[in-house]
Structure 1
């Protein structure tokens, strides 16, 4: 099954699950209970902490749930904030494999990018941690496919809007070229 966030980021080949960690968890859990998918592919946009270029594609089977305040040692969590998953559908030769950070907040401070990179995160996407967590609970192989729409800085939203349509077109091309059989 192929899923996406929804709203402005919908695809004809993907089921929308909602934006952010909470809505995506609820909707994807419901889908897994109703449809019992054999695999999950999440497709979406991502913000780069500086390692990947604009409109570059990447894949991931590894996500973190880190907030900027934790990286600055101003907060902590007793929860496990790191999840790694397996998927037989990810080719290690074609696209860069990265760790994705997921948070309900979009990074707008360039100084934090260095901290996220030090935590081995290359990009951020609001939903991916939730997708891997639900996949883990249902023992479903899962991975994510992302295209970078923006760097994480004060003009991140403006860059996201400028690059979003092209990113969606690239995601659509990649899915139809490599992973259409996962629908």
Structure 2
């Protein structure tokens, strides 16, 4: 099953599950309870913490839920804040961080790179956590639309349509590759 966030980030080949961690967790859980998929592929946009360039395509099976307060030792969590469905431990994954907030402090978000975290997407942690709960293999494909700086929203708006087109081409190409095997 291919899923996406929803609202203005939809694809004709993907089922929308909601925007942010909570909507995604609730709606994806409902989908999995009624018709458990064999595999979940999340498709969406992402903001780069600096390493990845605008319109780069990122594939990942690892997500984190780390809030900005953690980076300055202003917060902690007793919860497991990294989840991965990557069974090939020899392959290094780009970690995608999820929060219900879009980061705009470029200096602060560079600290994410110290933890091996490359970009952010609001929904991916919820997707992988639900997939883990239901024992469903899962992954994500992302297109970078912006950097996590003061222009994040404007750049996202400016680049979003092209990113969706690039994601559509990438996913369709990967589906052809997999079905040709």
Normalising to structure 1: TM-score of the pair?
0.92
State the 1:36 CA deviation.
Answer: 1.0
Aligned-residue RMSD, C-alpha: 1.6
Give me the whole-angstrom Cα distance separating, in 2, the residues matched to 1:3 and 1:87. Answer: 21
State the 1:97 CA deviation.
Answer: 4.1
State the 1:113 CA deviation.
Answer: 2.0
Give me the whole-angstrom Cα distance separating, in 1, the residues matched to 2:87 and 2:3. Answer: 15
Can you give the 5+ residue segments of structure 1 that lack an aligned partner in the other structure?
Answer: none
Equivalence for 1:154:
150
Give me the whole-angstrom Cα distance separating, in 2, the residues matched to 1:11 and 1:4. Answer: 7
Give me the whole-angstrom Cα distance separating, in 1, the residues matched to 2:87 and 2:54. Answer: 26
Q: 1:175 aligns with which of 146, 171, 174?
A: 171
Give me the whole-angstrom Cα distance separating, in 1, the residues matched to 2:27 and 2:136. Answer: 16
Equivalence for 2:50:
50
Q: Which runs of 4+ in 1 moved over 3 A?
A: none
Equivalence for 1:99:
95
Normalising to structure 2: TM-score of the pair?
0.93
State the 1:112 CA deviation.
Answer: 1.4
- Count of residue correspondences: 176
Equivalence for 2:36:
36
CA displacement, residues 117-156 of structure 1 (integer Å, 9 cap, x when unaligned): 1111100000000000000000000000000000000010
